[in-house]
């Protein structure tokens, strides 16, 4: 019943994109939006492995409030905090975040056991914001990065090499030139692994914590795992044309940005295998194609607001859909926003339907569809809401046809350039896609 036509596609391409880049703050908790932004930007700037904070784990454990979800699971882009050539010299570490410790405390770090004097390196560019050299209490230091995130290094060495004498020479505890207030670069040696403080009775180890600007900790284990994986696999194959430090970091970015999941090591390995089998574009296609979460969110923004998503909102709602929201829930939420009310608020259902058909499909409603939805909207016993109508429409075949390659470009631009495309870019992509395959278009536009 719904066949593609050039007219419809043309209509969409020539739609009013005047408010293209304007974020709809009403649609997303502001604090959360900033958090995503900070984490992602920092990863890019530092040029290290990165991923974003996610809600998927929160959904699994049944956390329902948006705030709780935002804080439940995060991965911070870091450099592995031990010198990379010592990766095989340390013992395997495990996730002991939250494990009980003496005095009712819980463990806020990850413990990496290894030989004393193993060099410890800065996990990020930043400043040595705190340093303690204390025979009584132990040696530790904190690096604060430009975004206010803190990286804590505890149990730094206090022994003469080869002994457990506790003599605590400064230059056998801290790296060359390291003192409070100095700037360090990611990967720079800042200290040496040891057993100072209350670690004298355990294996010498680095206790490493990641603290957010608001003073709360995240579980550092996934961040440390991904940073170590990047060392193991080495530099990325330049033939792939990806500007990422490792294939794992690209996989983590693609899965977090486009699928809204917090990928574990197996999922990252699977995605890497797909890249090896089908190329970068082949691995990305299911994440950006018409049946992807990302494309669905793009279409829902268009259906509800007749515009592209803003970058933060797009990321946020992809994560929610990967968590415990479905399209209908999200659409319901959109339909309560000020922006939606401003567009549709004073319309009766018939006028609303007419406008939805016109905006989305560039045509008048067919009478069958119009009558069906009018009846359901006015059903005295079990009325559907405009939000429900929008979710049906935005997920339907005609919406997929009309959205065409726009949703692909929105997703790819979000992944590779951390932004939304403009109308000219959408038109150019459309043209490119009419003349070439998805894979060739991705290579041409995004891979160098
Ligand atoms: Zn510890």
- Domain boundaries of the chain, sorted by first residue: 6-58+290-446, 84-219
CA 28 to centroid of ligand 1, rounded, Å: 36
The per-residue pLDDT for 249 is: 81
The per-residue pLDDT for 68 is: 37
Output the CA torsion 281→287→290→296 (10° steps). Answer: -150
The per-residue pLDDT for 264 is: 79
CA 138 to centroid of ligand 1, rounded, Å: 13
Q: What residues are neighbours of ligand 1 (ion), with CB under 5 Å?
A: 109, 111, 207
pTM: 0.65
The per-residue pLDDT for 313 is: 93
> Angle CA(138)–CA(142)–CA(143) in degrees, nearest 5?
155
What Rg value do the Cα atoms of the chain yield, rounded? 26
Question: Domain spanning 84-219 has what CATH number?
Answer: 2.70.70.10
Helical pair 423-435 and 406-417, crossing angle rounded to 10 deg: 110
CA 377 to centroid of ligand 1, rounded, Å: 58
CB atoms under 10 Å from CB of 355, counted, come to 15
CA 146 to centroid of ligand 1, rounded, Å: 25
CA 218 to centroid of ligand 1, rounded, Å: 14
Alpha helix locations (H) across 102-160? none
CB atoms under 10 Å from CB of 388, counted, come to 18
Say if strands 217-218 and 205-211 run parallel, antiparallel, or are unpaired: antiparallel
Concatenate the DSSP letters of all residues of 263-319 into one string.
--HHHHHHHHHHHHHHHHHHHHHHHHSTTSHHHHHHHHHHHHHSSPPPHHHHHHHHH
DSSP percent split of the chain into helix, strand, coil, nearest 5: 50, 10, 40
CA 112 to centroid of ligand 1, rounded, Å: 8
**Per-residue confidence in pLDDT tens, the chain, 448 aa:** 333 332 322 223 323 333 333 333 334 433 333 333 333 333 332 222 222 222 322 222 222 233 333 333 477 878 999 999 999 999 999 999 999 888 888 999 999 999 999 999 999 999 999 999 999 999 999 999 999 999 999 999 999 999 999 999 999 999 999 999 999 999 999 999 999 999 988 999 999 999 999 999 999 998 898 889 888 887 788 889 998 778 888 998 899 999 998 887 788 889 999 999 999 999 999 999 999 999 999 999 998 888 999 999 999 999 999 998 988 889 989 988 888 888 887 788 899 899 889 988 889 999 998 999 999 999 999 888 888 889 999 999 999 998 989 999 999 999 999 899 999 999 999 999 999 999 999 999 999 8
C-alpha neighbours within 13 Å on the C-beta side of residue 22 = 8
Cβ distance 157 to 196 under 8 Å? yes
CA 113 to centroid of ligand 1, rounded, Å: 10
CA 110 to centroid of ligand 1, rounded, Å: 6
Q: How far apart are CA 424 and CA 20, in angstroms?
A: 12
The per-residue pLDDT for 40 is: 35
Q: How far apart are CA 253 and CA 280, in angstroms?
A: 13
CA 226 to centroid of ligand 1, rounded, Å: 19
Tokens matching residue 82: 């031990």
Q: How far apart are the first and last CA of the chain?
A: 41
The per-residue pLDDT for 320 is: 93
Cβ distance 231 to 110 under 8 Å? no
């Amino acid at each position: 019943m719904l066949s593609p036509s050039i007219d419809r596609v043309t209509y969409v391409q020539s739609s009013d994109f005047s408010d293209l880049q304007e974020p709809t703050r009403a649609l997303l908790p502001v604090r959360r939006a900033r958090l995503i932004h900070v984490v992602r930007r920092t990863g890019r700037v530092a040029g290290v492995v990165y991923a974003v904070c996610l809600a998927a784990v929160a959904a699994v454990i049944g956390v329902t409030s948006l705030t709780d979800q935002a804080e439940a699971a995060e991965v911070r882009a870091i450099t592995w905090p031990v010198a990379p050539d010592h990766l095989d010299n340390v013992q395997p570490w495990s996730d002991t975040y939250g494990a009980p410790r003496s005095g009712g405390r819980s463990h806020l770090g990850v413990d990496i056991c290894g030989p004393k004097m193993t060099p410890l390196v800065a996990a990020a560019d930043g400043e040595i914001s705190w340093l303690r050299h204390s025979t009584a209490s132990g040696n530790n230091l904190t690096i604060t990065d430009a975004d206010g995130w803190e990286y804590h290094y505890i149990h730094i060495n206090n022994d003469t090499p080869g002994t457990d004498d506790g003599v605590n020479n400064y230059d056998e505890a801290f790296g060359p030139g390291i003192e409070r207030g100095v700037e360090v670069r990611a990967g720079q040696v800042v200290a040496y692994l040891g057993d100072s403080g209350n670690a004298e009775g355990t294996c010498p180890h680095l206790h490493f914590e990641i603290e957010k600007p608001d003073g709360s900790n995240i579980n550092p284990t996934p961040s440390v795992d991904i940073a170590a994986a990047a060392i193991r696999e080495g530099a990325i194959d330049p033939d792939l044309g990806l500007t990422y430090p490792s294939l794992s970091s690209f996989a983590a970015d693609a899965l977090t940005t486009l699928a809204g999941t917090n990928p574990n090591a197996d999922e990252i390995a699977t995605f890497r295998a797909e890249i090896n089998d089908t190329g970068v574009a082949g691995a990305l296609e299911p994440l950006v194609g018409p049946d992807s979460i990302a494309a669905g969110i793009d279409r829902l923004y268009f259906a509800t607001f007749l515009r592209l998503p803003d970058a933060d909102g797009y990321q946020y709602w992809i994560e929610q859909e990967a968590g415990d929201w479905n399209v209908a829930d999200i659409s319901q939420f959109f339909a309560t926003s000020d922006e939606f009310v401003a567009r549709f608020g004073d319309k009766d259902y018939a006028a609303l339907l007419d406008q939805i058909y016109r905006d989305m499909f560039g045509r008048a409603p067919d009478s069958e569809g119009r009558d069906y939805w009018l009846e359901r909207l006015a059903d005295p016993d079990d009325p559907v809401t405009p939000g429900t109508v929008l979710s049906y429409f935005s997920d339907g075949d005609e919406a997929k046809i009309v959205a065409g390659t726009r949703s692909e470009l929105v997703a790819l631009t979000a992944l590779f350039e951390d932004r939304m495309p403009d109308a000219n870019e959408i038109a150019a992509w459309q043209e490119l896609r009419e003349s070439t395959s998805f894979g060739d278009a991705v290579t041409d536009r995004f891979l160098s």
